[in-house]
Amino acid sequence: MRTTEITLEEAVGKPLAHDLTGIDAKNGVKGARFKKGQVVREEDFPALLNMGKEHLLILELEPGEVFEDDAALALCAALAGRNVLASEPSEGRITLSAAADGLLSFDPACVRRVNEDPDWVLATLTPHRQVRRTQAVAGFRIRPLAMESERVERAVAVAGRIDVLPFKPLIAGLVTTGKELAEGRVEDAFADKFRGKLAAFGGSLLGQRFSTDDSEMIASAVNAFLDEGAQIVVCTGGMSVDADDRTPGGIALAAEEIAFRGAPILPGAMMMLAWARRGDRKIPVIGAPACVVHDTRTALDCVLPFLFAGEDPTPYIRGWGVGGLCEHCSPCHWPQCGFSSDS
């Protein structure tokens, strides 16, 4: 790449070699009126002439080189997946943002492969975390003004798609287990909290059923919700190894398949996920440990974003030990934290 001095007319369609400073004496403003790398257009002539510019230094690429914005656009085409919006390139930089509330999904190994070239800078949020519409999820740029085409092609080849999987407004059933709750001796403290968690995904609560610590009664409550059209069922309590804790057995009776029991997450290690079936639909049934009642964030919060995005968390659950210890921050910053985010 080299710089060449040419007339305004000759500069049309070519990138500037450096910033051009403009002064607005009336408003006392001084700054870059035209940026390095900005492509000159005919409609820029009046402003350039008012700045006293009749000749410009422009960048001329060598054979096989790609200008920074064009390189960024090439990588953008490889990265921007479903429900991801891209900003216009500026000085070789593009920001990717979520087009919907959803689960951020990508392979972190692809990010590392792009960054093996030190002239590429690709930074993202952690994968498999909850993001909101318009939230920036990734940003990238190239460091030099131009890059060899083969290096651009390599980055494009190793990049993976960054997707935002939109949340679905699932209808949930809540089965609350424990004889003391079923008999009304202790008041349930989770239903209202659960409604708030559902609302964050656009979901709603179909209803709540109480059950004693009896596996068949728990299974009956789960099946009743499934027959009524629940798209997810959460059972709370009775998940430990105590003799009276029968919730896992009840879930197993109602479900077709146990996905996992136990998660490397604190709080919430006794978490369970199973799949029931109604027709051609697989419906998640969760066994949530007692800690969901008193802890702000638990393993339940790590699993719900996957299920509302229509994804199975099972392939990732064993890796959640790294980041799986909640810091109990006050105030809670979830999901803007590392709790059970993939590293």
Confidence at residue 197, expressed as pLDDT on a 0 to 100 scale: 97
Given 3-state DSSP classes, what are the helix, strand and coil percentages for the chain, each rounded to the nearest 5? 30, 30, 40
> Block means of pLDDT (10 residues each) for the chain, length 343 residues?
83 84 62 79 90 85 88 97 95 95 97 97 95 97 92 97 98 93 87 96 97 94 98 90 78 96 94 96 95 94 97 94 93 87 59
**DSSP assigned state of 88:** P
Q: Give the CA distances from residue 34 to residues 2, 5, 40, 230, 335, in Å, rounded to whole numbers and listed in that order.
A: 19, 16, 9, 58, 39
Query: How far apart (Å, rounded) are the C-alpha atoms in residues 239 and 271?
Result: 8
**128 in Cβ contact with 342 (< 8 Å):** yes
**Domains of the chain from N-terminus onward:** 2-60 (3.90.105.10), 65-166 (3.90.1170), 171-321 (3.40.980.10)
What pTM did the predictor assign?
0.85
Query: How far apart (Å, rounded) are the C-alpha atoms in residues 268 and 299?
Result: 5
